[in-house]
């Protein structure tokens, strides 16, 4: 399995975890900080109606060696029955700074912090999106729910990508094993919203991730301008927008978030990158490797 442990051992592990406090609640269920021996762990408790997301996330973590500094590290999964109620747990590393969304709401960023956050997210996405052959290999994976709430901030200032409940490999796409659950409407690409996306084509899902990544980069660059946090399309779409709300904004009006009005070359470079990556035409959007190389160049030229 993905944690390298047989299921029986994982069961034992889950029984040894003590839940300490709830650090997140959402449509998915809850996230708790727990302790295991002397270690902090995160326990995501799924609503039983969302068993499909627990199954997919457990499957992705278990069949693929997903060990990367910018991907949330998996410890184990557990399904138990408590007074005739199914409990679904996913146990991972714990990150005390919480999600990027919470972090951006609390803090302004320096340009250096901004670049480290952007680079580390892209590095994680590049690893996910890449097919690696050989015994230590992995298939290419599309995430399908990239957003600032699904990215965690590590104490070293880098980020890691979490929540693989919607993730797909090429095999899932070919075998039509797509979840009934949808991604977050605010971050849906134009081709998903106008239903022109080729749902048979794995690469189309990677293009959707890159669109959502551009919106996250916008959130992060805004944090570096010292303005208060806003979600993408805050001035154009209501809270919890409908599919139709987002289709009107993104497809009919062709609107995109307002890039930072700054003349610093790093900000100008990021603005150009965002524009390419949220382009209406998915084929214009850059692959993760090209985004990473562009960010590395911008970071290397930023000496102040």
Residues in the site for ligand ADE, rule: CB under 6 A?
Answer: 23-24, 31, 42, 72, 92, 94-95, 98-99, 152, 162
Which residues, 6+ apart, have CB-to-CB distance to 37 below 8 Å? 16
Q: C-alpha angle with apex 107: 29 to 242, nearest 5 degrees?
A: 45
Shortest Cβ 99–ligand ADE spacing (Å): 6
Q: Which of 21, 50, 78, 145 is catalytic?
A: 145
Active-site annotation holds for 245: no
Shortest Cβ 152–ligand ADE spacing (Å): 5
Alpha helices in the chain (DSSP H): 7-16, 51-63, 100-106, 111-129, 170-174, 190-193, 202-224, 243-247, 265-277, 288-300
Q: Which is nearer to ligand ADE, 104 or 286 (CB)?
A: 104
Alpha helices in 3-49 (DSSP H): 7-16
Q: Which is nearer to ligand ADE, 45 or 210 (CB)?
A: 45
Q: Which is nearer to ligand ADE, 41 or 118 (CB)?
A: 41
Q: Which is nearer to ligand ADE, 98 or 287 (CB)?
A: 98
Q: Which is nearer to ligand ADE, 72 or 204 (CB)?
A: 72
Shortest Cβ 290–ligand ADE spacing (Å): 29
The residue assigned the tokens 């570096």 is 224
β-bridge pairing 85-93 and 18-26: unpaired
Which residues, 6+ apart, have CB-to-CB distance to 134 below 8 Å? none
Q: Which two tokens stand for residue 228?
A: 């208060």
Shortest Cβ 160–ligand ADE spacing (Å): 8
Q: Which two tokens stand for residue 71?
A: 């991907």
44 assigned to a ligand binding site: yes
Shortest-Cβ-distance residue relative to ligand ADE: 42
Shortest Cβ 93–ligand ADE spacing (Å): 6
Q: Is 79 helix (H, G, I), strand (E, B) or coil?
A: strand
Q: Is 180 exposed, middle or buried (0-12, 13-18, 19+ CB in 10 A)?
A: exposed
Residues with catalytic function? 145
Residues making up the binding site: 44
* Binding-site residue set for ATP: 44
């Amino acid at each position: 399995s993905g944690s390298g442990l047989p299921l029986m051992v994982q069961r034992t592990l889950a029984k040894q975890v003590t839940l300490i406090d709830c650090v997140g609640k959402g449509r998915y269920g809850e996230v708790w900080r727990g302790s295991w021996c002397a270690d902090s762990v995160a326990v995501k408790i799924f609503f039983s109606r969302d068993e499909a997301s627990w199954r997919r996330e457990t499957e992705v973590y278990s069949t693929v060696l997903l060990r990367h500094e910018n991907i949330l590290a998996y410890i184990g999964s557990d399904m138990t029955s408590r007074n005739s109620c199914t409990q679904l747990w996913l146990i991972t590393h714990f990150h005390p700074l919480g999600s990027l969304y919470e972090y951006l709401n609390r803090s302004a960023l320096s340009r250096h912090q901004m670049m480290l956050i952007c680079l580390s997210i892209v590095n994680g996405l590049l690893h996910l999106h890449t097919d690696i052959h050989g015994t230590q290999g992995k298939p290419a994976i599309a995430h399908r729910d990239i957003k600032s709430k699904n990215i965690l901030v590590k104490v070293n200032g880098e980020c890691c990508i979490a929540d693989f409940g919607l993730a797909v490999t090429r095999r899932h796409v070919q075998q039509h094993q797509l979840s009934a659950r949808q991604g977050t409407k605010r971050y849906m690409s134009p081709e998903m919203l106008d239903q022109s996306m080729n749902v048979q084509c794995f690469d189309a899902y990677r293009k959707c991730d890159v669109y959502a990544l551009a919106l996250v980069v916008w959130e992060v660059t805004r944090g570096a301008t010292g303005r208060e946090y806003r979600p993408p399309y805050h001035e154009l779409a209501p809270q919890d927008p409908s599919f139709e709300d987002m289709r009107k904004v993104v497809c009919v009006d062709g609107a995109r978030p307002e890039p930072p009005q700054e003349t610093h070359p790093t900000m100008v470079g990021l603005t150009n990158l965002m524009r390419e990556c949220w382009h209406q035409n998915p084929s214009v959007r850059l692959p993760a490797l090209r985004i990473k190389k562009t960010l590395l160049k911008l970071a290397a030229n930023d000496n102040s």
